[in-house]
Amino acid sequence: MIHSLFLINSSGDIFLEKHWKSVVSRSVCDYFFEAQERATEAENVPPVIPTPHHYLLSVYRHKIFFVAVIQTEVPPLFVIEFLHRVVDTFQDYFGVCSEPVIKDNVVVVYEVLEEMLDNGFPLATESNILKELIKPPTILRTVVNTITGSTNVGDQLPTGQLSVVPWRRTGVKYTNNEAYFDVIEEIDAIIDKSGSTITAEIQGVIDACVKLTGMPDLTLSFMVKAWSTDLVLGMGN
């Protein structure tokens, strides 16, 4: 599906490229540069650019263009979602996603990209699985790798890759089983000078910090004066 990936900074320089199938020449990015010149802002560059032999799909985050090259028609949102996942993975691995950080960790970047796609098709995109395959870089691990000549590649295959819940590691154990929930509500309203409400809406989110052993099912009950409801959750939901 995805033949190549080019990382382009705001100055128009290609500072990293990765090829999964055939090697695509950098000249294909000339069509992207032409669209970039016509756009008034970096965010206004078209996310899909057709060329005579390829399609260029891109996202712009952290002042970097992530440009994927494909040769056949595929759902564009599928590729764009994968590009966003690449950015999120880099940010999870390195703390920030920027050109200097990517250059400093170029070996890990190539290893992660190699695991995320198999012959151009998404394979492992969950952070937990990738971190078992490719260990995140640390100062101590970098020193050890330099001395011993080893790499960040894990010794064992991730056990969660074959699970129905790939984002959760298998065999998770906690000393204390506990779950904390924080209900956050926001009220937006427009009130006229007489005190009457013109419009009003309530938005809310539930932040959860769950430390439970294994894969249990949870039954949560929300009790309010006017109504009540039961919500059944599983670790896979």
Where does a domain end: 67, 93, 125?
125
108-135 residue pLDDT tens? 999 999 999 988 888 888 888 888 888 8
Q: What is the 3-state secondary structure (H, E, C) of the chain?
A: CEEEEEEEECCCCEEEEEECCCCCCHHHHHHHHHHHHHCCCHHHCCCEEECCCCEEEEEEECCEEEEEEECCCCCHHHHHHHHHHHHHHHHHHHCCCCHHHHHHCHHHHHHHHHHHEECCEECCCCHHHHHHHECCCCHHHHHHHHHHCCCCECCCCCHHHHCCCCCCCCCCCCCCCEEEEEEEEEEEEEECCCCCEEEEEEEEEEEEEEECCCCCEEEEEEECCCCEEEEEEECCC
Q: Are residues 109 and 179 in the same domain?
A: no
Q: Are residues 16 and 118 in the same domain?
A: yes
Please check whether residue 25 lies inside any domain of the structure: yes
Cα–Cα nearest to 15, from 81, 88, 89, 109: 109
Where does a domain end: 102, 125, 148?
125
Q: Are residues 120 and 181 in the same domain?
A: no
Q: Which of 28-32, 44-48, 59-63, 215-219 has the lowest mean pLDDT?
A: 215-219
Q: Are residues 96 and 209 in the same domain?
A: no
CATH of the domain at 25: 3.30.450.60
152-176 residue pLDDT tens? 666 565 555 555 676 777 778 889 9
Q: How many domains does one find in the chain? A: 2
C-beta of residue 120 within 8 angstroms of C-beta of residue 20 = yes
Q: Are residues 185 and 107 in the same domain?
A: no
Instruction: State CA 232 to chain mean position distance.
Output: 27
Phi, psi of 79 (to 5 degrees): -70, -40
Q: How far is CA 7 from CA 13, 63, 115, 142, 162, in A?
A: 8, 10, 18, 24, 31
Please check whether residue 204 lies inside any domain of the structure: yes
56-96 residue pLDDT tens? 999 999 999 999 999 988 899 999 999 999 999 999 999 99
Please check whether residue 135 lies inside any domain of the structure: no
Please check whether residue 152 lies inside any domain of the structure: no
Please check whether residue 141 lies inside any domain of the structure: no
Print the domain residue range for 210. 171-219
Q: Are residues 207 and 113 in the same domain?
A: no
In this predicted structure, the answer to whether residue 215 has a pLDDT above a threshold of 70 is yes
